A and B are shown apart, each in its own frame.
Chain A
C-alpha cells in the first residue's frame, strides 16, 4: 500500500497552496482547523472544494502521444458517448477521476482526435457499435497454464472485460481498473467476485504508464519477458503477438475460499457465481475455455455494460476525490443517501476504491441495517477500510473496529436506540481519514428526519443524494434545507441575531451537496431475480459470516451442528430480546437455535441460578454473532457456535436476540442427523386461513378510482 501512496502527487506543480501534502502519508495529524478557519463563509468553502478539479489529481499521467491502437476508436467512441450524456452507460470508467477533467490539455487533444475520427463519415456518437467492433472487443487473448492452474490474459489498452464469476487477479504489466480501484504491476493479488446478485464487474485495461525511462521497444520486451516468466512451457505465438508495450497483462487464478466452498455446497447456491437468468436468456456469455477454467465468464451485449456511470455520478466522485486531495478545514465526512435500490452501496464501493487509490484507509460508518457492507445484517458498525472492495458485500465481510447489534433489518421500531447506537460508534472515528456514512433506503417521513439528524450530529461536510427517474424521491438535503428542517432528535440552529453576519456565525457549518442521478436499468426497483432480493442478500451475508467457521484448508464442508461448541453457564451471561417482549420464563424458547449478538456489558453479570434476563436492550459493543446451538437445562449451560476468536469471546457477557434469523437452509439441511429436525416441519400448510404472515398491500386501489365498476 505504501508504494501506492508515494507515487501519487506526480503532477502537482501548482501545488503551492496545498498544505495537504502530508495527507498522502499515513497517520499524520490533521491540520489544526482553527488556524485555517479564519472565517471562510460556508459558500466560500463550497466553492473552494467544488472548483478544484485540479489536473494535478491525475496521477496516472496519460500522455497519448503514441500511435493509437486499432481498437481505440471504438474505445473512444464509448467515452464520447459517455460525455455526451445521452447514453450514460460507460464501459470504461477508465481512470474514473480523470474523465470529467476533460479540460486538461491532453485529454482535450484526445477528444478532438476522437471527434475527427467520428466525423470521418462514421455514425453519430449515440448509435450502437458495429458487430465487428463488438467482436474485436470480445477477443480475449488468454493462455492457460495447466501446471500452475492459472491463466495469463493480455488486454489491449482500453479493452474491457465485463464478467461473471470469481478469480484472483494479479497485474503483471501495465495497470487495470476494477470498480474505481487501480491495480498496477507489483501489487498483491486481489480477489474479484462478480456474482449474479449485483452489477457485473469490469476489468478495464488502462495500459502502461508513459514509457518515460524506456522506449516502446524496451517496454514490449519487458512485457513479453513477464508473460514468458509465468508459463512453464512456451506460450502460443498468437498470445505473444498480442503483447504490446501499452497492453496490460494480468494473471488470473481460480479462487477457492471457505466462503465459496461453503456457499456452493448448498444446491440452491451452486450457481451463485454463475450468470443470472437475464444474462442466460440473452445468451450473454462469451465462450472462452481459458477464462472459464479460472472461473470467469465474459459477458457481451447489453448485459456487459458493467457499472453505469451517469455524468452526475462521475462528477460527484471526482469532486469528492478533489475534496480529499485539496485543502480542507475538516477531514471530509461524506454522507451517501438515496431511496431503496438507488445504487448507494455500489456508489460507496466505487468511492472507497477511488479514495484508496490515494489514501491508505477510509473510515466507513454503516447506518443501513438491512444491506450492510461489512457485517451481517442488523449490525451498525464503524469500519476502517484499507483494502479495495471488488465484489458485493457478502464477499468481503470483515470484522469492524466497533459494532453495535441493533437486531432488526430496519430501525422503525426504536429510532432512538438506533441514533444512540450510531452516536456511540461515532466516538471512535479517528478523523484522520475520509469518512463515508452509508444510510438506509428509508428516506420518507421519519427516515428523512433521521437523515437530517445524521448530517447534523456528525457534522457532515459532503452529502451525496442519489435519485432516479424524473422526480426526486424526497426533498433534496441541501444546506438551505438544513437551516430550517427538523430532525428526529435535532432542531435547526437558532437563527443568528440581526447584528451578526450570518457568515461569521461559527456554529453553522454547512455541507457541499451533490445530487446524483442513477441511470442504470432498474434503478429504484428492487431486484427480482434470484439472489437479488433483499432477504436473500441478507441470508447470503449471514452464510458468508458463518462460512468463517469452515477450515481454511480445502476439505469437507462442516454443517454448523457438527462443530464443537463453546459453553458458558446461564448465570454468567445476560440474555435480551431486542425486537419484542418475550416472557422471561420462556426466554430459552426464543433463544434456542437462534442467532445471538455477542455483546460486552461493562458491568459484570452474575445471576443467582437460572438465566439472567435483560429488562431492556442495552447499547453496547458487539463483537460478532453466534448460533445458540443448544441449552443444557440440567447443568445450566448455553452451547454456542461462533467464528469469534476465543480471546475476544472471553469478554462476552451478553447475548442479544434479534429479528435476524438463521438462513432457512442452515436449519433445513443438517446432514447426518437422525430423527426429526427441531423447528422444521413439512406439515405446515399455507392453504389454511391465517397461515401467512401479515401482508401489506401497497397501492390498493379504491373502487371509486377506477372506471369499470367491479
Chain B
C-alpha cells in the first residue's frame, strides 16, 4: 500500500482518461446540481430521486461528495415539510453531518491516524464543524439550530468544493489543499503497465537478436558450402527449410515489433558487419579498399542479407529503415559504420530506381532484387533527412535521390543543393569545423536550410511514431462492424420467441452509430428517461425450507398494483410497506 504513494508522482504524465460516470452527460449533471441547490424542496426532491438512480449505477464507487450532499439535502427537504419533530430532525441532521466529516477527511488519513481537526483544516472545513461532529458522537446532542447551521455551511462547502469544480467547470483555484487522487489501484495499474511495456520491449529485443543471429549462422553456413562448391560466384540456393522458418519468424516480428527489429538490424554485427564477419565472407575489412565518397555494398554481403530483406519488403518497413539509416548517419558514427550505412542507403535507392527496375524486369532476374515493384518514397523528406545527416557520401546519395525523384527538382536547384552539400561535407571530411570562417562561402545558408529541415524531420518523426502505438489504436474500419442478420436468422429467432413479448428489433437502425444507452430519436433533455407512470409488482416471500425440497418453487405473487405517480408523491404506499414487511420475515 505505501508503494502506491510513490506512484502518484508518476501520475502527472498520464493524459486525459475516460471515466465512467453515472450521469449520461454534462447536461444531466448540471440539471441535478441546479436542483440540489435550488432551495426549493420539490426540485431538491427531484434531484434526490435522480441521485438514487446514480447510486444504483455507481454502486460502491459513488463519490463521497455526491453521497454526502444527497444526505444533507434530504435533511433539508424533510425539515421543510414541517412534519417532523425537533428531536427527529437532530438525529437526521446529526447522522448526515457525522458521515460528511468522517468520509471527507478519510482520504486525508495516512498510515497513522491524525486528528480530524487538522485534516479538516487542510481542506478549509472550520473547527466548529468538526466540534459539531464531536458533540454529535460523544457529547450532548447539539440544538437543531446548530445542526441547520452546520448543514447549511457544509452544503455551501460541497457546492463550492465539489459540484462547481467538477466536470470541467472549475471556478477558483485559491484553496490549494492537498488534492484528492484517483484510485490507487489505477495508479498501480498504470505504473505496472508501463513497466510491463518496457520489459516486453527488452524481451522483444532479445528475441529479435537471437533470431537474427540464427539467421546469420544459417547464411554463413550456406555461404561456406557455396564457397566450397566453387567460389562465391555460384548462385545462392533457395532458402532451406530452417531458413524459411527463421524468415517467417522475422516477418512476424516486422509486423509485431517493427521498431525493435529495425533497431537491432542497425546494431553492429547485423546490417553493419563486423570486421570478423567481413573476413569470413572473404571481404577485405580495411578501410583503404573502399571509396568513402561512393559507397557500394559488397555483393556477397548483399546476398547474405537479401533473403531477409525480401521478406521485409513493405513500403512502411523500407521507409522506416531508410529513415533510421539516415538518423544513424546523423549521429556521426565511426567511418566504418558510416560507410556501411551509406552503402545500404545507396543500395536501397538504387534497387528501387526506375531504370534499375526496368532493366531487371527485362532480364527477369528478380533473384537479386529487394523490390519487385517500385516503392514510393517521400522524396522531399528524403532530401531533408539526407542533408541533415552529412557524411562524405552525402553528395553521392543526394545525386541518387535527385535523379530518381518522380517529380524532379528544377535543374538549378539540384545543382545548388549538390554544390552546397559538397562544400559542407568536404569540410566535414577534412575534420575542420564548418564554422562561418569564410564569409564568401554561403555556409550559413546550409545552416539555415538545416534548421528548417530539422524541424521538418522532427515533425516527420512524429507522424512516423504513430507506428509505436499498439495496433488497435489505428481505428479499425467501422464499415462492416454493424451486425447484419439474414432474413432467415431473424425469422428463426422470432420463431423461437413466438408467443412471448420478446422479438428481434427489425427497425432499420444503423446501431453502430448509437452507443450503448442511446437509441434513435432520443432527446438530449436530461429528463428524457423520467417515468410518469409505472406499476409496482410484488413477489411474496420465497424462502425455501429444505424439508420441503420436492416442492415446486412457485412464486406466490400479489396482485398487480398500478399507480400513476407524480415526482413528489411518497414512493411506497402503506399497503406496499406492509407487503414488504411480510416478505422480509426472517425465520
Contact = CB atoms under 8 A, between A and B. Distances in A.
Interface of A: 144, 146, 265-268, 270-271, 274-275, 277, 280-281, 283, 285, 287, 289, 416, 420, 423-424, 426-427, 457, 489, 528-530, 533, 535, 556-569, 571-574, 577, 579-590, 592-594, 601-603, 605-616, 618-620, 627, 629-634, 639, 645-647, 649-653, 657, 659, 661-662, 664, 666-668, 670-674, 676-697, 700-703, 706, 710
Shortest 7 CB-CB distances between A and B: which pairs?
A690-B65, A593-B517, A572-B501, A672-B478, A683-B168, A590-B56, A589-B53
27 contacts: A146-B248, A277-B196, A280-B196, A285-B203, A287-B207, A556-B480, A561-B515, A585-B567, A590-B57, A601-B539, A605-B537, A607-B537, A608-B535, A647-B496, A650-B499, A664-B18, A670-B515, A671-B481, A682-B18, A683-B168, A686-B180, A686-B182, A687-B179, A690-B66, A690-B103, A695-B64, A702-B112
Given A649-B497, A674-B513, A686-B180, A694 B64 contact: yes
B59 A659 contact: yes
A670 B516 contact: yes
Best-surrounded residue of B62, B63, B188, B477 (most CB of chain A within 10 A): B63
A516 B471 CA distance: 46
B190 to A, nearest CB: 10
Contacts, number: 428
A558 B113 CA distance: 50
Given A271-B196, A580-B52, A657-B56, A673 B512 contact: yes
A566 B180 contact: no
Interface in B326-372: none
A613 B534 contact: yes
A530 B544 contact: no
B493 A646 contact: yes
A683 B192 contact: no
A693 B481 contact: no
Contacts of B587: 489
Contacts of B476: 556-557, 671
A13 B567 CA distance: 78
Interface of B: 16-26, 48-50, 52-68, 103-104, 106-107, 109, 111-114, 123, 158, 161-162, 165-168, 170, 177, 179-183, 185, 188-189, 192-193, 195-196, 199-200, 202-203, 206-207, 210-211, 245, 248-249, 470-473, 475-478, 480-485, 492-494, 496-505, 511-519, 521-522, 528-539, 542-546, 549-550, 553-555, 557, 560, 562, 565, 567, 571-572, 576, 579-580, 583-584, 586-587
Contacts of B189: 530, 533
A615 B580 contact: yes
Contacts of B113: 700-703
Given A561-B516, A567-B502, A631-B519, A592 B529 contact: yes
Contacts of A618: 539, 542, 555
Contacts of A561: 511-512, 514-516
A613 B535 contact: yes
B20 A679 contact: yes
A613 B565 CA distance: 13
Contact of A580 (B56, B493, B500, B550): B56
Contacts of A633: 522, 528-529
A558 B492 CA distance: 21
Nearest to B502: A568
A474 to B, nearest CB: 23
A679 B60 contact: no
A691 B65 contact: yes
B59 A579 contact: yes
Nearest to A281: B199
Contact of B571 (A529, A583, A701): A583
Best-surrounded residue of B50, B65, B112, B571 (most CB of chain A within 10 A): B112
Given A562-B512, A693-B63, A577 B56 contact: yes
Contacts of B206: 283
B50 A586 contact: yes
B167 A684 contact: yes
Contact of B553 (A424, A573, A632, A689): A424
Nearest to A689: B161
B500 A651 contact: yes
A280 B470 CA distance: 19
A527 B550 CA distance: 43
Contacts of B501: 568-569, 572-573, 653
Contact of A689 (B180, B492, B557): B180
B200 A559 contact: no
Contacts of B503: 566-568
A564 B471 CA distance: 27
A673 B514 contact: yes
Given A587-B531, A607-B562, A679-B24, A427 B553 contact: yes
Contact of A610 (B481, B521, B535): B535
Nearest to A697: B109
B192 to A, nearest CB: 5
B200 A280 contact: yes
Contacts of A634: 521
Contact of A630 (B48, B518, B531, B557): B518
Contacts of B545: 423
B64 A690 contact: yes
